[in-house]
Structure 1
Amino acid sequence: MTAATSQAQQHGAVRLTDWGVIRAAGEDARSFLHGQLTQDTLHLDDHTARLAGYCSAKGRLLASFVLWQRGPAEVLLACSADLLPQTLKRLSMFVLRAKCKLSDASADVPLHGIVGGDAAGPVWSRSTQGTADLVRLPDAAGHVRHLWAGAEAGAAPALPATDADLWRWLEVHSGVPRIVAATAEQFVPQMVNLEVVGGVNFQKGCYPGQEVVARSQYRGTLKRRAFLFDTDAAASAGQELYAATDPDQPAGMVAAAAPAPDGSGRHAVLAETKIAALDAPLHLGSASGPLLRPRALPYALPTEA
């Protein structure tokens, strides 16, 4: 058993300081978000959570959310803290006459990631733990994960602390993309497998970028996808990848990366890349940079027709 596996089996929680929360409150909150996001929010209930993207008119992801309902007239949207202010500002521009008030609730709804323990319902379900919300996230590297959202400032789960690097490593290994400031407007949802992991509803009505997203899905072959890699060097979101056979232009971009929790110096990388470039060695930063070693995704990608 590796040190990383041993650590991942512990039951503990970590404060997610790199996440924030937007609150949408009011009787039109769900219908307003339904017209803005890639996900159906009209049919949210107290037992479900959902993954969603927020796109530009060109279909590029500005942000991604884990969202759930807290009461009949309040939806909470967890996203990367480094792009929350601009995302909140942009969403607020389109509220217009809708009875929906958007605000930064990060201080009032502290988020923790929980590793291990028993699974509280199926993936993307929402339950409660005392006054807190508990969202079941996809497993990563065979380990159960939850998002814990407190009901007041300073609240925390009654669990021992776990390593922040462990949480980030598992987040990368889940294969579920989280858009950050360094990757905003870089990806159409399918380029980072967002529709594969349940973040796009193709039956819902229009939203910004919907035509581009639908066209990417139904016309022609998708030429870019996200894949998992290991590398022996430090990696970070927004770094470019290069194929050894084509050193003059990037073959892709890192969507998420995290150091292995065993202290080995290795990094796990979730990177968007040209599918055709997978036939050649891929390198980080330049064609002569650190080698990226492919790993299996935790889910199957659809066969492209």
Structure 2
Amino acid sequence: MIPPMARALVRNTPTLAPIPHRGIISVTGPHALDFLNGIVSSTIPSDSNRHFFSAFLHAQGRVLYDVFVYANPSPDGRRGHLIEFDSRSSEAPPLLSMLKRYVLRSKVKISDVSDQYDVWAAWGSDIEKSWENERHWTVARSGAAEPVWDADANWPWGTDSLKIRDRRGVGLGYRLLVRRGDRPQESSTHDTQSSEAYTLHRFLHGVPEGVTDIVPTQAFPMDSNLDIMGGLDFRKGCYVGQELTVRTYHTGVVRKRIFPVVVHHPDHGIDDVKASSHHSFPAGLDIRPNVIHAPGDNTGTRARPRGTGKLLTTLQGVGLALLRLEHVDAFEHGELKLTFESEDADASKTLWGVTPWRPSWWPRLINEDEDH
């Protein structure tokens, strides 16, 4: 559940916000379906009007891009897709050139149409209640988890033109592609906020996105919750990065997850989050587990837990962090504190505490209470 302090940041009224740093690539042609199906991590729906969420992996199974794919058939009904991705520079190869390398003899046309669209997010309206229902899951022994969509319901990601239901988490709303410079139709019924409002909304729902949260060439799909968010299909045919992903699902162990977190004074708890809300923390800071000794325990014999976590992105005292599941479990049992150090403007070091929480809609992970 969202901690009380963070709950005060939730916007429950209809809200609209632009999403910056997003690129759009168009993929059309007779072979567009088979072409994309061979390189994305989820199955391409056979219906040409269905949108979906997915990812591009490299051959060793690490994430290059997390993407939304909008069905965009031509007026004569021919297959077409618009791929929305984080366009900021990263260690990943530029998506346009990467896709063109995969074309070979496929009859597809690939072009960058980023200058034609703006990306917006909308949430908090009654319309979302029509598709939000209790989540059901398939959970593997490895700890990987997949949402099981209701077969009797409509397609979970929607079919409305240039509008995709954001089913990565419960309560996220939907995303819109709008012609560059135009205002979304929702601007007449929603309160328009800045892009930071969307980022905060996403953090509070525990959903990572883009190159800062899902670090290209470093992040593993399940560590980054792409399975929970509906971006992985462990049963489809061959695609780039499939071998390691499926092997981990069947025989491996998911040891880390991205969690929403509150940053606060290490001794005052999350009620003192105001101290951190005005600070900007760089991504990638190590989050260290610290053993809490019971009163009167002067032996100091308990070994420090292995490994560290990583702070990803923060805003107004909340954010996302990549944490070991064993550390989160020990934290929840009162056995550990999680802290990191940041450097102030005068080069002095300040210690901060981190409190993670599990979104209420998450599945119960098989290995979350086990030793890893």
Pair in the same fold by TM > 0.5: yes
Quick check: 1:60–1:188 contact (8 Å CA) kept in 2?
yes
**1:262 corresponds to:** none
What percent identity do the matched residue pairs reach?
Answer: 20
- C-alpha deviations, 1:144-198, integer Å up to 9, x for none? 5110112x32222131421322210111233333231671112111111211221
Q: CA deviation at 1:237?
A: 4.3
- C-alpha deviations, 1:108-152, integer Å up to 9, x for none? 121111122233553642343xxx521111386x745110112x3
Displaced runs of 4 or more, over 3 A: 1-7, 232-240, 245-250, 284-289
**1:294 corresponds to:** 356
Distance between the aligned counterparts of 1:91 and 1:36, measured in 2? 9
Quick check: 2:120–2:176 contact (8 Å CA) kept in 1?
yes
Quick check: 1:242–1:285 contact (8 Å CA) kept in 2?
no
Distance 1:284 1:250, change over 3 A: farther
Quick check: 1:19–1:81 contact (8 Å CA) kept in 2?
yes
Q: CA deviation at 1:217?
A: 0.8
Tell me, yes or no, if structure 1 residue 214 matches structure 2 residue 241: no
Distance between the aligned counterparts of 2:112 and 2:306, measured in 1? 39
Q: Secondary structure at the match of 1:110?
A: strand
Quick check: 2:172–2:201 contact (8 Å CA) kept in 1?
no
Q: CA deviation at 1:274?
A: 1.7
Q: CA deviation at 1:106?
A: 1.6
Distance between the aligned counterparts of 2:314 and 2:113, measured in 1? 26
- C-alpha deviations, 1:253-303, integer Å up to 9, x for none? 344x342xxxxx412x22222222222322235797421112222312431
Distance 1:44 1:179, change over 3 A: farther
Distance 1:285 1:107, change over 3 A: farther
Distance 1:241 1:87, change over 3 A: farther
Distance 1:3 1:293, change over 3 A: closer
Quick check: 1:44–1:68 contact (8 Å CA) kept in 2?
no
Quick check: 2:51–2:159 contact (8 Å CA) kept in 1?
no
Gaps of 5+ in 1: 260-264
Distance between the aligned counterparts of 1:6 and 1:284, measured in 2? 23
**2:149 corresponds to:** none
Tell me, yes or no, if structure 1 residue 270 matches structure 2 residue 320: yes
Quick check: 2:10–2:204 contact (8 Å CA) kept in 1?
no
Q: Which has the larger radius of gyration?
A: 2
| TM-score normalised according to structure 2 size | 0.69
Tell me, yes or no, if structure 1 residue 87 matches structure 2 residue 89: no
**1:58 corresponds to:** 60
Q: Secondary structure at the match of 1:212?
A: helix
Tell me, yes or no, if structure 1 residue 11 matches structure 2 residue 40: no
**Aligned pairs (5 A) from 1:51-130:** 51-71=53-73, 72-83=78-89, 86-119=94-127, 122=131, 124-128=156-160
- C-alpha deviations, 1:30-51, integer Å up to 9, x for none? 21111101011152531x3221
- C-alpha deviations, 1:225-273, integer Å up to 9, x for none? 2222111333454443222359898622344x342xxxxx412x22222
Amino acid at match of 1:224: K
**Aligned pairs (5 A) from 1:21-40:** 21-40=24-43
Q: CA deviation at 1:53?
A: 1.3
| TM-score normalised according to structure 1 size | 0.83
Distance 1:205 1:7, change over 3 A: closer
